[in-house]
Amino acid sequence: MIGIPVAEAFGGGALLDLHLHDTDLVNWIFGTPDAVQTFGVSRESGGIDDLLSTYIFEGGPVVNAEASWCRGEWSFGIVAVCEEATVAIGQSSITVCRRGRPAEDIPYDKTSHYALEIASFTECVAHDRPFDICPAASARESLRIALAEERSARNNGRRIRLK
């Protein structure tokens, strides 16, 4: 792969190596957005290593997600603003703010959702069971969304239509 940085040739920066899981979660909960708009920077990997994405659902919730390998430690976050509540998913808790009620923190299991996903996959492989938690069609759609986010980031945050 002449002309492509080694890290990019074998990975995709924070956007495709880390943030793809956030994109998959957004896709699983809300479905394919009508469009995405992403602002990001490329550093050592050649991929997008720090980013903020907005998933645009016409007439629906406002959903933002961010991920980074450029900060003191890796980080991610998803915020969904819906009609009756706002949900913020962070590295150690989920915060739900419902209209007229105090914010409610819901702690994660002792293991992160990334670790749980990998454990589930390895369990299926070890016991020769199908990994149907994330069907191939869903994974393909999440990757299509993430690649649209990458195009947006590489084009100064240009809105990319998906539907």
Q: What is the pLDDT of residue 6?
A: 43
In tens, the pLDDT along 87-142 reads 998 877 789 999 889 899 887 665 666 666 667 777 777 888 776 666 788 889 99
Between 129 and 80, name the one with better pLDDT. 80
How far is the C-alpha of 142 from the C-alpha of 135, rounded, in Å? 11
CATH superfamily of 6-158: Dihydrodipicolinate Reductase; domain 2 (3.30.360.10)
Q: Give Cα 107 distance to the centre of its chain.
A: 19
In tens, the pLDDT along 29-68 reads 899 999 999 999 998 788 999 999 999 999 989 999 999 8
Is residue 8 scored above 80 in pLDDT?
no
Between 62 and 11, name the one with better pLDDT. 62
The residues, ordered by sequence, that sit 6+ positions from 52 with a Cβ below 8 Å of its Cβ are: 38, 39, 40, 64, 65, 66
How far is the C-alpha of 1 from the C-alpha of 85, rounded, in Å? 47
How far is the C-alpha of 146 from the C-alpha of 57, rounded, in Å? 16
pLDDT band, very low/low/confident/very high, at 2 (cuts 50, 70, 90): very low
Q: Tell me the residue ranges of DSSP E strands in 69-140.
A: 75-81, 85-89, 93-98, 104-107
Residue 81 in contact with residue 91, Cβ under 8 Å?
no
Is residue 77 scored above 60 in pLDDT?
yes
Mean per-residue pLDDT, 18-24: 91
Q: What is the pLDDT of residue 100?
A: 86
How far is the C-alpha of 41 from the C-alpha of 50, rounded, in Å? 5
pLDDT band, very low/low/confident/very high, at 27 (cuts 50, 70, 90): very high
